[in-house]
Structure formats: structure tokens, C-alpha cells
């Protein structure tokens, strides 16, 4: 159960070693301002994560950088001083491990920054720099700031602040491998890899996996791949799983529907949510997703509703709580590793970057959405208590082919003798559906969460679900 933390915005400790020019914690986020979140602030809030049922944290970048998001890496072997010291990082790792919480770091290995020492050396010394081969240099002089002149080097999406590594260069490649090994030795439990598809050097990710897993055989490696991740995850030589944005977009399209705030959409072909989906459309998208990857990959994929790169789910849904509740039901009953973006559990809102990176409002509990918080805790608790909700056995029972007008979606989750039924009605009208017994046996059902009526017949079972609601039943042992 992952919790994604944007370090500058989650929690700030009382550490005296803070810059004086910080933005007020509760002020709107900006592209360049810092709030001052730090490692010890996370340590102070670990009770919050434990109460939520979190047992893994995915941190956005923590290395020394001149950006509040820290994707512009200056030094890959040092933590950012605003976040704290090496000792503070060690304290964080130890405190998390004491609670059974694993720590996954963000690895930005496709590109560095203008402030990265080796690139700065090229800026200073030009063709005579010993690091000129570390980057894709097209000519001299380099122009990292003058937009009226050609950059003369390749950068991520043409952004001059992010010069692209030449991973075909043996020294650059070895450097990045040593970064992966160093933090594995420091005790991290995994890497989330930023834009890994853009590193096309043959064997790069295979070597990265082999060398980091040699230090920690249980190291979790997940790639930020927005679309089809086949080829990166199928054979177990590169990544364990991918950030599951196909699940994200399908789930939002089904649960949010025409409540979608179109201003929150991105210019990204893999984040295409409109128009909304009915239950048959959702079924087809989920069926493709489950049939596309082997079970071990499905169980290792990082499933999410929102992230630092998207608007927040409540804002996407134009403030509609029901949409978020239904999406949480589908997220927390789906195979794989669910991830909650910090603050989503209390209804933190936010549009596109930088608004999606607001500070956690610790001092304003009266503004927290208690319904979403209670829902999150309840569903995470169910997931922890019931192995069926963590298994790969996911049987779509409704809608069948030909039921294109239904807005009700029903699945059975099975593990050994345990059978759980999940029903979601994303429509505006109450629906009653009849399920045959040919794919799952219905016994004495116990309603575990939500509201719904279930009537077991001899050959079929009838389920009635109110509009914009969901229910979860325990069907008992076989």
C-alpha cells in the first residue's frame, strides 16, 4: 500500500536549519518557491501513515537540486540540504523500517540539470572538458539560458535546464549504475524510474536491475511508463511493474463521467479521459489491461488515481465526492500495488502543476474531507485483512456482452477459499443486475462495506445498487 510524498509539501519539522526565504506553508504553490518540507517532518507524521495502513512510500526526488520538485539533479550522491542531512535521511529510513514501511526513491537518470557538476564543467571548458562525452553535444558554444541562440545540446523535451545523458558513454553509464548501487546500499527498498523509455542504450536497464538487485534481492523497480509497458516488464529483466496510468484513465472516465473538469486535462495522448465510459467500456479497458500482462506484472504495477504530474482526483471530478469514493473502491480492490497521492485521503484539491502540489494542510483539520478519509481507511483495512483483494484472481461478472447501457460493474475477487464480491454503480439510476452462478459460487453473503441488496437464488443472484454507490460482500468460504 503506497503513499506518494512530494517532499517539499508533505510535512515540515521544527529543524532550525531552514532557509529564511520560504513561502508560507498554506500559500498557493508556485513553480519556483519552496515550502520547506523535510525528512524529519515525514518522521513526525509516520503515525498518520500507519493509521492509514501504508506500508510503502514513494518519494519524489530527494537529491540536491535547484528546483522544488528536484527533478533537476545537481548531485546524485547527496540529499538536498533543505530536506535535511545524511543523518536525517538515515533516521527516516530506520523509522520507516521499524514500522514495516518500505522506501522507494525517484531515479532521474535520463537527464541531469544545468547545475550538475559534469555538465557545468562542459559549460566552463567547452570541447576540452573531460565530460564532453557524457552528453549529446551538437556544437559550441552551449547556450543553457539564452533562448535566442541554439542550445547546441540535447535536452529532455527541449528544456535547456535538463541536459540529456549520453548513456552510450561508458563513464556516464557507470556513474549512473553506481548511483543505483549507492542508495541500495544506504537501505532503500526500490526505485521509481523517471521517463525510462527515453534511455535506449541496449542493456542499460538490464544491467541496472542486475547490479541493484545484487545488493538487495527484494528491490522493487517500477518504471514511469504512461502507455503500454510491454517489453519493459514482461520477462523480468528490467522492471517489476509500471505506473499504471491506463488503469487511472479508465477508472476516472467511468467514475467521473460527465463531471469531468476539462481544464484539468493534460496535453498527453496517454492521459485521454474524455468521453466518459459506461460499465461495458470500463470492462473492456480493464480486460485488456489484465490480459496484456502476466500475473506477476499485474501484481507489481503501481496503481494510482492522481500524482504530482496530474491534477488531483477531486478537482478532476469537479468536487464530486461520490466520484472519488467509487474510484477508491476500484483502486483498492484491484490487483497490484495501490498508491495514494499525499492529501488525496483528506480531499486535498488542485489543478494542473503546480497547483497539484499544494502543501498538506495539517493545521486545518476542520477543512478535511472526513468522508474520504474514513473511506480510505476502511478500504485499505479491508485490503489488508482479505487476501482475495490482493490476489491476481479478478473475475468480471457484470456487464456481460450486450449490456451496453448498464452503469453497474461487478467483479469477484478470489484467493483460495475466500470469495469477495465488489459492485459499483456509477450511474444516476438504481440498477438491479442478475448474475449467473457459472463463474462464482454464491453462499451466505455478508455485507462488509457500502450499501446494496443481494438476493441469492437457485441459479442466479440479484444485486441492487443505488445510484453513485458501491458495496463489497464477503461470500464466505467454498
Q: Which residues are catalytic?
A: 194, 224
What number of other Cβ atoms are within 10 A of residue 62's Cβ? Answer: 23
Q: Does the bond joining 141 to the residue before it have cis omega, within 30 degrees of 0?
A: yes
Rounded distance between C-alpha atoms, residue 259 and residue 303, angstroms: 22
Exposure of 165 by Cβ count < 10 A (0-12 exposed, 13-18 middle, 19+ buried)? Answer: buried
The Cα–Cα gap between 212 and 261 comes to 42
CB of 96 closer than 8 Å to CB of 46: yes
Angstrom distance (rounded) from CA 79 to CA 209: 23
The C-alpha atoms of residue 201 and residue 284 are separated, in whole angstroms, by 35
Distances (CA, A) of 155 to 47, 66, 111: 41, 17, 7
**Pairing mode, strands 460-465 and 408-415:** unpaired
Concatenating the DSSP letter of every residue in 375-419 gives HHHHHHHHHHH-GGGGSSEEEEEESPTT-TT--EEEEEEEETTEE
Alpha helix stretches (DSSP H) within 37-126: 39-44, 46-52, 86-98, 117-125
Amino acid at each position: 500500500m503506497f503513499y506518494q510524498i512530494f517532499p517539499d509539501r508533505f510535512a515540515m519539522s521544527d529543524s532550525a536549519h531552514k532557509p529564511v526565504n520560504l513561502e508560507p506553508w498554506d500559500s498557493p504553490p508556485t513553480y519556483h518557491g519552496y515550502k520547506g518540507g523535510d525528512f524529519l517532518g515525514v518522521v513526525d507524521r509516520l503515525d498518520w501513515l500507519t493509521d492509514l495502513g501504508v506500508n510503502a512510500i514513494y518519494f519524489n526526488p530527494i537529491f540536491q537540486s535547484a528546483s522544488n520538485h528536484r527533478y533537476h539533479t545537481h548531485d546524485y550522491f547527496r540529499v538536498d540540504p533543505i530536506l535535511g542531512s545524511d543523518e536525517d535521511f538515515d533516521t527516516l529510513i530506520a523509522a520507516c523500517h521499524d514500522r514495516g514501511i518500505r522506501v522507494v526513491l525517484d531515479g532521474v537518470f535520463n537527464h541531469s540539470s544545468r547545475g550538475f557538476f559534469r555538465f557545468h564543467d562542459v559549460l566552463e571548458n567547452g570541447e576540452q572538458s573531460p565530460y564532453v562525452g557524457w552528453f549529446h553535444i551538437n556544437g559550441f558554444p552551449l547556450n543553457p539560458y539564452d533562448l535566442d541562440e541554439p542550445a547546441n545540446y540535447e535536452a529532455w523535451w527541449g528544456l535547456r535546464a535538463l541536459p540529456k545523458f549520453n548513456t552510450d558513454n561508458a563513464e556516464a553509464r557507470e556513474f549512473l549504475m553506481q548511483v543505483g548501487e549507492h542508495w541500495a546500499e544506504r537501505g532503500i527498498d526500490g526505485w521509481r524510474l523517471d521517463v525510462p523509455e527515453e534511455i535506449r542504450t541496449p542493456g542499460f536497464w538490464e544491467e541496472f536491475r542486475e547490479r541493484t538487485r545484487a545488493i538487495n534481492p527484494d528491490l522493487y523497480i517500477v518504471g514511469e511508463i504512461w502507455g503500454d509497458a510491454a517489453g519493459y516488464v514482461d520477462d523480468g529483466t528490467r522492471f517489476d511493474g509500471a505506473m499504471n496510468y491506463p488503469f487511472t484513465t479508465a477508472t476516472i472516465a467511468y467514475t467521473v463521467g460527465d463531471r469531468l473538469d476539462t481544464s484539468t486535462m493534460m496535453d498527453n495522448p496517454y492521459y485521454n479521459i474524455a468521453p466518459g465510459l459506461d460499465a461495458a467500456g470500463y470492462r473492456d479497458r480493464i480486460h485488456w489491461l489484465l490480459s496484456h500482462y502476466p500475473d506477476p506484472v499485474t501484481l507489481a504495477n503501481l496503481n494510482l488515481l492522481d500524482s504530482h504530474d496530474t491534477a488531483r482526483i477531486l478537482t478532476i471530478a469537479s468536487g464530486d465526492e461520490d466520484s472519488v469514493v467509487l474510484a477508491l473502491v476500484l483502486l483498492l480492490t484491484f490487483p497490484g500495488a495501490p498508491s495514494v497521492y499525499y492529501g488525496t485521503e483528506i480531499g486535498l484539491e488542485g489543478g494542473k502543476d503546480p497547483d497539484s502540489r499544494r502543501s498538506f494542510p495539517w493545521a486545518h483539520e476542520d477543512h478535511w474531507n472526513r468522508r474520504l478519509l474514513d473511506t480510505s481507511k476502511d478500504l485499505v483495512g479491508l485490503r489488508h485483512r482479505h487476501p482475495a483483494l490482493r490476489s491476481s484472481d479478478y473475475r468480471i461478472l457484470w456487464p456481460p456482452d450486450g449490456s451496453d447501457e448498464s452503469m453497474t460493474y461487478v467483479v469477484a475477487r478470489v484467493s483460495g477459499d475466500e470469495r469477495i464480491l465488489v459492485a459499483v454503480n456509477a450511474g444516476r439510476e438504481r440498477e438491479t443486475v442478475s448474475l449467473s452462478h457459472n463463474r462464482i459460487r454464491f453462499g451466505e453473503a455478508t455485507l462488509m462495506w457500502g450499501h446494496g441488496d443481494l438476493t441469492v437464488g437457485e441459479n442466479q443472484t440479484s444485486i441492487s445498487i443505488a445510484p453513485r454507490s458501491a458495496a463489497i460482500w464477503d461470500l464466505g468460504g467454498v
